[in-house]
Structure formats: structure tokens, C-alpha cells
Structure 1
Amino acid sequence: MSAAQYTALGNLSPQGRWRRVLLIALVPMICAFIYYAYESSFIPPSFKPLPSSGLTNTSSEAFNQDDLSMATVIKALYSPILHPIDAANFTDEDGDVYRLQGEPRFKEKLGKKVLILDIDSRPLTGEGQLMNQELKWKGMRPLSAGMLSHYMFAMIHGYDYKFMRAPDYPDRWGTWVKVPMMKEALKTHDYIVFMDSDVMFHYPHLPLEWLLNYWNMTADTLAMMSIDPDEPQNYDAKGNRYLNTGFVIAQQSKRTQDMYKAWGECPSETRYKGCSKWKLEWAHEQAAFGNYLRYDFDRPDDIKVLPCVEANGAPEATDRGGCKGIFVRHFWVDKGLLSKGLSDSVMQYFLPRLHQLYHQQASENIIDTKGFKLDGVDLVEMTEQEKEELRNSDGQNQKDEGF
């Protein structure tokens, strides 16, 4: 930005004009996140500066400037920088490029056809838990951060969101309840995205539709799951690695319903002998799917196996099969990092917008007194010769940043 865009001392107006729309939209985000924010180097490649007149709405949804609801704040923050659904590629925070193979199947928003789904049978009403009427950033339980990120992802993209409080099985480990609940959800939605509470999308501005194109969900695909790390405990009886059921994308069809029915009934052993051992033995419903269902529903497009590096693990798990969770992170190494993941998913988008607003208002908020010299405690205008000498002094007596 050139010096002409800053306000000289003598021309400074007593009060700058505020760009109300953008400022009103962003101030609540400051209050909620900035104090405990963590630095993130990623600026979405699709980010473009907004004009000085205020917020540019690049989506088809208009924002109500007088609506200060959190839903409006989230739309105002993310909608202008959403990645195109049918874009040919995506560049991540490390500069790596991921490209679609062939013509994308999904070119329009799926909207409420998609359900982002949380499932739990626990009350979650304790201090720092999601269903408690009061939740503070400091002291929030990690899994609350995970589920809030799911809720936010749904709002960003206009998907449906549901938390299903499931009844308990009297004779099975608690994670088994996800199977019948997913089956039920597929009766009302074309696509469901189930995530364990320690799972989150790393790039909330990246639509599910783009990922479905990238991972090649066809009309015949029943479900997508990530493969588990290459470790001894993650192999089934036939010597193949388990598919992780903590992140599942499922598509409605009669065959999908048949698969979920067979999965949920697996421990009864009417169809799969020996499955009852997984009622209580680790890895429970995941082991049942890995040992039986994947081999029964084995048409070419039935089950899409997602790479562990893209849809499982986190950077802290790179020494465990390279599963760093490029697109979807599963914090099974350190669930305490969920809160940082949530703050990153906000701050990597909020900070560029805040910085942009700072520059938009530079002519009103920045006072340039470099044309003056300090004489004691007085500012005295410099002569042209003094200004030239100043330009040649190269920041004499100035401290480096951080001191």
C-alpha cells in the first residue's frame, strides 16, 4: 500500500467511517476465538480481497445486514471463499495440489440432501460437554470441539445437521449404536456423513461435493471409509487392514439399507458365524464390518476405500503409516488437539479477513508522521533535506519485531 493511501497528521478526520457490514459480521468472531487462537499459515487459495465498500457475497444467498445471529456471522465469514464444487483441483496449506480425475459427477450444491450426523448414547451434560447449557472455550471437553466443528461445517455449506441420541444396546459395546442410527438416517437423506466426535474436516471451506468428486463416489457406491494405519492390531482375519468406521460417507439405496441391516444383525450370527465375539471385543462394529460385511458387499463400487493419509489420522500420527489426515482428521493419537483443530478452522479464515479490513481502513486509522521529527516531546515538520536524510538512515534505533 502506498504512502498516499495513509492519512497525514494534518488531514486526519476526528472519526473514520466504519464499513458496518463486514465489521458487524466479524466482531462476534473476535470475541469468541481470537484470545485463544492458534496461528495457522494457510490462507485459502481462493481467497480474494473484498472491495472497500464492504462484503462481497459470491454465493447465491444474500446476507441480512441487520441479522447478528451466529448463523449469519458464519455465512459472512466463509461464503465468499468457498472452494468451487466442480473445481479441477485443490491446493492445500502445504502447497500440494489434488486434482480430479475426469468429469465431476457433482456440479451443484446438494444442500439438505446431505446430513452431517453425530451419534451418541451418553448424556454429555457434564461440565465442558456439549449438552451442558453453558460451554466456555477454557475447560471445554475435546469431543465438544469435534461435534461443534461438524455443526459449523453443515452451516457453512447449507447441509442438514442432526445429533441423534441413541438408545443403548444391553449386550454390546456403546459404539455399536452408530450402525442402526446411520441406517435410520439414510431413510430421510440421500447422503449421510457420520463422524466420531474426535473427527473433523480440516478445510471447512472445501465442500463435501468436491471431495465426493475427488474420491469418486459413483451412483453405485454404498459407503466410503478410510483404511486404518498399517499396524498389527488393524488387520482382519484374512490379513487385510480394517476400514475405520469413525468416518463414514454413505449413499442411500436399497442395497445400502441391506448392508446396514446385515451389519447391525452381524452379532446374532444368523448370517455371519463368529461375529458375536465383536459385541464387546475390540474393534467392535469396525471389526464386524472388516471381517464380514466388506467381503459380502464386494461389488466394484460398493465400498470405496479412502487413503489413510487423506481421511484418517492427524499430523501427529505421520509416524503411524503416514496417516496425517489431509482432508479429514481423526485425532486418535491426542484427542486434546481437537480444540486447536477447531480454532484453526476458524482463525485461518478469520485472520486474513481481519487483516484485509485493517488495510481497507488504513486511510482512516493509520497516522503517518514520518514527515515530522521529534524535538523533545513536540512534532516538528521536517525540511526536504531532513526527509532525504531520514530515507537514508534505514531505520536507525528501531527494534526488531518481538523485542
Structure 2
Amino acid sequence: MSAVNYTSLSNLSPQGRWRRVLLIAMVPMICAFIYYAYESSFIPTNFKPIHRYPTTNDNGGNNNSFEGEDLSMTQVIKALYKPILHPVDAANFTDEDGDVYRLSGEPRFKEKLGKRVLILDIDSRSLTDEGQIMNQELKWKGMRPLSAGMLSHYMFAMIHGYDYKFIRAPDYADRWGTWVKVPMMKEALKTHDYIVFMDSDVMFHYPHLPLEWLLNYWNMTSETLAMMAIDPDEPQNYDHKGNRYLNTGFVIAQQSKRTQEMYKSWGECPSESKYKGCAKWKLEWAHEQAAFGNYLRYDYDRPEDIKVLPCTEANGAPEAVNRGGCKGIFVRHFWVDKGLLPKGLADSVMQYFLPRLHQLYHQEAANHIVDAKGFRLEGADMIELTDEEKEKLKSDEGKNQKDEGF
């Protein structure tokens, strides 16, 4: 960094003034943001749209409105991440620990996929209680953990220009609630080339790292139906053939006729018309995941059908590193402690916001940093130092002080 010329105390006057205004509203805006839902093109026409939140309160006043401001929320988010977006066809990526991940060959994806990608949330619950995503107000203090997860999905789509949908799914009368993700993913694949479904306790750890780079790194080919991360090496995570389950909380699927067939078979598995014994997983853990692990993965077993992602890269979180090394390098699944989701959201913002703020601090140094080191303190007075006193000051620097006040 080039040298910065700070303002000397002797050059300041009572008429000194700030020359620029620092307009930074990133963090509180992120935390207070409320998602407006729109009907999806793959939702039936008689499907009731998700409640649109009002822009005025009961007294007719504005309710957290940003109307009239120069910057929209979308512009603020894109402006924060645009300078640091990782190229989709980069040969490697270096993580926060300095570890380097390299592509194994020529990248398939060299351009952004944009709206061909759908980032997808699916839930049949109302989620309208205090602190939940569909409530009319959401505050950082008191926010429920899963709201943080879904907001991170929405933000990730916004950063990279992907489509985003939240589907409020109908419930099965005879199955555990998580089964609804199967038919909803199937429908979503009719309108988008690629879908990324995440449970609400899952998030991308590096929001500036595009999906296209990960598809290159994990080698999604034109024949790939879906990608899922393997579960930790623990007794409950094995199927009837002794293989570990693939975790259905994070799924990347690619549109194709064969993919539609797979999802149809998966959704119909408990009927036992094709897979005897699958009805067991209607209500018994691990529900739709166990059905996929015990049946579907063995029917769709061409070399490129199902890509198994490493647990350490696409499952778990640092707190789970002692469970098979599943620390979630790229994708974090907070099944150890869902309460860590808000921290994960904060990290995904502050990790990139803080360096930009620090850079601006130095750029504006001449306006707000006052160099009074050319004076000595005597009682309540400041007396300008002689050249000899300045030399002595260098040897005494730090005297009577602690490191950063601790």
C-alpha cells in the first residue's frame, strides 16, 4: 500500500470539515431484509401465492421502506461482492485457510448460467411465527436459525444472478414432511436446467464462489442426473447393502428425461409398486433419504448418473470435523448445531464487508486521521516538539501502554 498523508493537527482549524459522506448500510439492511415471493411458472395456476408483505403499517406509515434512497438492496449486495467474484472457469480456488483446490481438467462451464439455475427452498410449514422468514418483520436479535439459512440462499442467488424460489409445498397425508421436497424438485426441473436444493440449515460458505466453478470442480457432465454429499461414517448412516447414505439436504440436479424418471420413481417409492419395503420410510428416519439410499441409487447407477460429493467439502461444518472430517469446506450443513446458522450468515457478509470498509478507511485517511505525534503533552497542553525531542520519541514509543489496551 502506498504511503498515506494524514492531516496534521497544526493544519486543522475550527472551520475544518468532512469532505465526503460515508454511506454504508450493508449489515443492518441484510439482517432486516424481507423476501418478497412471486409465483413460480411451474406452480399450478390455482396455487395461492405466498403472502406479499405490505409496505405500510396499520397506521398508514412506511414500514422499513427504502423508497427514495439512491441504492436498492440488490445494488448494495451486488456492489459488495462484484469486485471479488471468482471466475467461473478459474483453474483453482484458494480457501480462507490457504488450501488450494484445482480443477482436474478443462472446465465444462466457462460462462455464467444465470437464470438457467434455480436456487430452491421448499417447506410445507407456514414459518410465520416471530423470528421466522415469512413473518412480516425480521430482526437480527431473535431471528430463528433457519431464517438465516434461507436468507443466505436468496442472497447467493442475487449475487450471481440465479433464479430463486421458495415453494410452500402441500403436505402428504401419510408421510413425514421432508418427503415434499421430492415432487417439488421434480416440478422445478421442468423449468430450469439446473436446480440447487438446500435444506434451511445448509448454506454456501463462500458466497463469492459461483456454482459454475463448483460444477467444474465436482465434474458435473452432460450425463449427470444429480450430485449429493455422502454422510459421515457413522452406524446410522448406512443402507441395507452396507453403503453410506447420500445426504438429500443438499442436491444439485440437472434437467433431463432420465432425471424426471428418477424423481418420479423416488416420489412413488413408498407405494411399493416398484420397490418392496419402501413404505417403511414414510415415517421412519431417514425418510426420503433412506428411500433414495436403499433403492434409487442402485437403479440409477450409470457411471455419471449420481455424483457423490466428499463429506468434507459439501456436508457438515467445522464443529463436525471429528465426525468423519465433515467440515463443510464449500457447503455447510449445520446438523450439529443449527444455532450456528446466524453466525454463518454474518460471516458470509462480514468476511467481505470488513476488508472493503477497511480499504475505504485508508482511502479517506487524509480526511479523518489526525497526526498529533509531533507534539508532547504537558499537563493539559500540547507543545510542539523540537527535532531532538522527535528523535527521542522514537525510542520511547509504546512506553506506559498495553497491546491494544489489553
What TM-score, normalized by structure 2, do the two folds share? 0.88
- Would the alpha carbon gap of residues 351 and 379 (structure 1) be closer, same or farther in structure 2, given more than 3 Å must change? same
Query: CA RMSD, aligned part only?
Result: 1.6
Instruction: Specify the SS of the correspondent of 2:154.
Output: helix
Instruction: Indicate conservation of the 8 Å contact 2:4/2:365, yes or no.
Output: no
Residue 317 (structure 1) aligns with: 320
Look up the SS of the partner of 1:187 in the other structure.
coil
Output the amino acid matched with 1:237. Answer: H
Contact 2:27 2:349 in 1 (8 A): no
**1:155 pairs with 2:152:** no
Assess if the C-alpha contact under 8 Å between 1:168 and 1:174 holds in 2.
yes
State the distance in 1 between where 2:152 and 2:173 align. 31
Q: Deviations over 1:313-368 (max 9, x none)?
A: 00111111110000000000100000110000001001111111111111110000
Instruction: Output one character per residue of 1:142-189: Cα deviation in whole Å (capped at 9) or x when no partner.
Output: 000000000000001110000000000001110000000000000110
Q: Say yes or no: does 1:179 pair with 2:176.
A: no
Q: 1:193 aligns with which of 192, 196, 206?
A: 196
Measure the CA separation in 2 of the matches of 1:109 and 1:303.
23
Q: Distance in 2 between matches of 1:307 and 1:272?
A: 28
CA distance in 2, matches of 1:211, 1:96: 16
Measure the CA separation in 1 of the matches of 2:210 and 2:93.
11
Which residue does the alignment assign to 1:54?
none
Q: Which one scores higher on RCO, CA 8 angstroms, separation ≥ 6?
A: 1
**What is the CA deviation profile of residues 181-237 of structure 1, one whole-angstrom value per residue up to 9, with x for unaligned ones?**
000000110000000000000010100000000000000000000000001110001
Partners of 1:228 and 1:360 lie apart in 2 by: 47
Q: How far apart are residue 3 of structure 1 and its match?
A: 6.8
- Choose from 371, 391, 394 the match for 2:394: 391
Selected match of 2:138 from 124, 135, 139: 135
TM-fit CA distance, 1:239: 0.5
Residue 222 of structure 1 aligns to which amino acid in structure 2?
L
CA shift in 2, pair 1:2/1:200, >3 Å: closer
Which sections of structure 1, spanning at least 5 residues, go unmatched? Answer: 35-64
Matched residue, 1:330: 333
Deviation at residue 17 of structure 1 after TM alignment: 2.4
Q: Separation in 2 of the partners of 1:257 and 1:3? A: 60
CA contact (8 A) 1:118 1:162 kept: yes
Partner of 1:125: 128
Pair 1:28-2:30 in alignment: no
Structure 1 range deviating more: 326-335 or 370-379: 370-379
Return 227-236 or 377-386, whichever deviates more.
377-386
8 A contact 2:29–2:73 mirrored in 1 = no
Which stretches of structure 1, 4 residues or more, deviate above 6 A after TM superposition? none
In structure 2, the partner of 1:98 is 101
C-alpha deviation, 1:12, in angstroms: 3.7
Match of 1:55 in 2: none
Residue 401 of structure 1 aligns to a residue whose secondary structure is helix
1:282 shift after superposition:
0.7
Shift of 1:31: 3.5
Deviation at 1:377, TM superposition (A): 1.5
Does structure 1 retain, via aligned residues, the 8 Å contact 2:94–2:100? yes
Native 8 Å contact 1:106 1:213 kept in 2: yes
1:11 is the counterpart of 2:11: yes
- Paired residues of 2:171 and 2:180 also in contact (CA < 8 A): yes
Structure 2 vs 1, CA of residues 168 and 345 (structure 1 numbering), >3 Å: closer, same or farther?
Answer: same
Verify the 8 A CA contact 1:85 1:209 in the aligned structure 2.
Answer: yes
Q: Among the aligned pairs, what percent are the same residue?
A: 82
Q: 1:310 to 1:80 in 2, by over 3 A?
A: same
Could you tell me whether the CA contact under 8 Å between 1:311 and 1:325 is conserved in 2? yes
- Mapped pair 1:346 → 2:349: yes
The one of 233, 252, 256 equivalent to 2:255 is 252
- Give the counterpart letter for 1:398 in structure 2: Q
Cα deviation, residue 33, structure 1: 7.0
Residue type matched to 1:180 in 2? P
Q: Deviations over 1:248-298 (max 9, x none)?
A: 000000110011001001111111111111111111100000011000011
Runs (5+) with no aligned partner, structure 2? 32-67
Aligned residue-pair number: 368
Residues 125 and 131, structure 1, Cα contact 8 Å, conserved in 2: yes
Q: Structure 1 residue 395: deviation in Å?
A: 2.1
* Structure-1 separation of matches of 2:224 and 2:303: 9
> 1:71 and 2:74 equivalent?
yes
**AA matched with 1:28:** A
Alignment check: 8 A CA contact 1:33 1:343 kept: no
Counterpart secondary structure, 2:76: helix
Deviations 1:24-82 (A, max 9, x none): 3xx11244579xxxxxxxxxxxxxxxxxxxxxxxxxxxxxx974221111011111111
* 1:81 is the counterpart of 2:110: no
Equivalent residues in 2 for 1:207-286, closer than 5 Å: 207-286=210-289
Provide, for residues 356-393 of structure 1, a one-character-per-residue CA deviation record: whole Å limited to 9, x for no partner.
Answer: 11111111100001111112212211111111111121
The alpha-carbon distance between structure 1 residues 66 and 137, as it changes in their structure 2 partners (threshold 3 A), is closer
The residue that corresponds to 1:60 in the other structure is none
Alpha-carbon spacing, 1:4–1:380, altered in 2? closer, same or farther (3 Å)? farther
TM-aligned CA distance change 1:195 to 1:30, over 3 Å: closer
Q: 1:399 to 1:3 in 2, by over 3 A?
A: farther
What is the CA–CA distance in structure 2 between the aligned matches of 1:239 and 1:173, rounded to whole Å? 24
What secondary structure does 2:404 align onto?
Answer: coil
**Paired residues of 2:314 and 2:331 also in contact (CA < 8 A):** yes
